[in-house]
Structures are given as structure tokens and as C-alpha cells.
Amino acid sequence: MAAVSYTPDPRGLRELAVSPGLQAAVLAAAERGATFCRSQDPAGRFVVEAERVTAGFNDETRAGAAIIDEGPNSNQRELRNATLRRAVAVIEAAD
């Protein structure tokens, strides 16, 4: 088999990082996490918001999302239950 080499195109990767398709995928993953949070902590009011995040070697803007608990006493409940922290495992385990 012949050797294959790959040279990334930074412009294409930047376009992908802020594309509507990637934003939709990130929001869908965050919504899975929020659904888990709602099932574990009915007192919470978990919402998902689209975000732009900074990442990469050049601090580039990329598509992102946040799960936010707008419910009462959210800080105390999170310290006690770690619902948002546990949601990360749910998001990462998805197909």
C-alpha cells in the first residue's frame, strides 16, 4: 500500500469550526446533556445556549454551546449533585 500523507488546509478547518452544521451538532450534544440534567435534578432549569468559544493554537473562534442551570440555588445543587459535571460523560458517550 502506498504511503498517504495529509496536509490540513487551515482555511477549511476554520470554516468548519464556525459552520452552521458544526454549531447544530454541538447544540444537539449539549441538549443531550441538558436532558440528562433535567432527569437527574428536577429542581433545576437547564437551558442550552449557542456560544462562540476560543480554542486552538491561535485562539480562534469556534462553534460551542453551554448548558446553564437557571434554577433556584443552582450553585448549591451543583456542588451537592454534580449534575452538570456528570452530563459531560453522557455527552461524550453518545454515538
24 lies in a domain? Answer: no
16-54 burial code (b ≥16 CB/10 A, e <16): ebeeeeebeebbebbbbbbebbeebbeebebebeeeeee
Per-residue pLDDT of the chain (95 residues; tens, 9 = 90+): 788 998 888 788 888 888 999 999 999 999 999 999 999 999 999 999 999 999 887 898 999 999 999 999 999 999 999 999 999 999 999 76
39 lies in a domain? Answer: yes
10 lies in a domain? Answer: no
By C-alpha distance, which of 81, 50, 59 is closest to 14? Answer: 59
77 lies in a domain? Answer: yes
76 lies in a domain? Answer: yes
The parent domain of residue 69 ranges over: 32-93
**Which residue type is seen at 11?**
R
23 lies in a domain? Answer: no
66 lies in a domain? Answer: yes
Per the structure, the count of domains in the chain is 1
Residue owning grid cell 500500500: 1
Q: What is the pLDDT of residue 8?
A: 82
5 lies in a domain? Answer: no
Gap between the Cα atoms of 72 and 74, Å rounded: 5
Tell me how far apart the terminal alpha carbons of the chain are, to the nearest angstrom.
31
